[in-house]
Amino acid sequence: MLWYGPGCIESTYRWAGFVKDHRAPFLTAFPDRKGGNHYCRIGDGDCAAVSGWPSMKMTHAGDYLGVAATGKPLTLRVMDFYRCESVRIIENWVLLDFVDLFRQKEVDLLAAATP
């Protein structure tokens, strides 16, 4: 599986890369996350997409992407696009709304990116 995440996480190759680079740090930071609020589900042939607003609710319990744990309740907006072969996910493009997530942690990513 090839997993294409946001720029700060980048892409990963195979399940082991996905776990090391995204899943393990995410679960450490947000151990109580509840998700699956994907109200939009579409598919055509070997391609599918799911999304929900918010897709997840969680508490910021551990450090994540350089921001110390805040203990705040957060929501995360997610969009997933999949390409499958023989009932297996081959590629997964993931859009995580980090601008909104970090805003909830009182970090303005857009201001930080402005020279």
CATH number where 47 lies: 3.10.450.50
pLDDT in tens, the chain (115 residues): 888 988 778 788 888 888 888 899 999 999 999 987 777 889 999 999 999 888 899 999 999 998 999 999 999 999 999 999 998 899 999 988 999 999 999 999 899 887 7
Please tell me the distance from the alpha carbon of residue 64 to that of residue 45, in angstroms, as a whole number.
36
Q: In the chain, how many domains are there? A: 1
Question: Structure pTM?
Answer: 0.83
Please give the pLDDT value at position 104. 94
What are the angstrom distances between the C-alpha of 35 and each of 30, 32, 38, 52, 106? Answer: 11, 10, 8, 9, 22
Please give the pLDDT value at position 73. 96
Could you list the residue range(s) of the whole structural domain that residue 82 is in?
Answer: 2-113
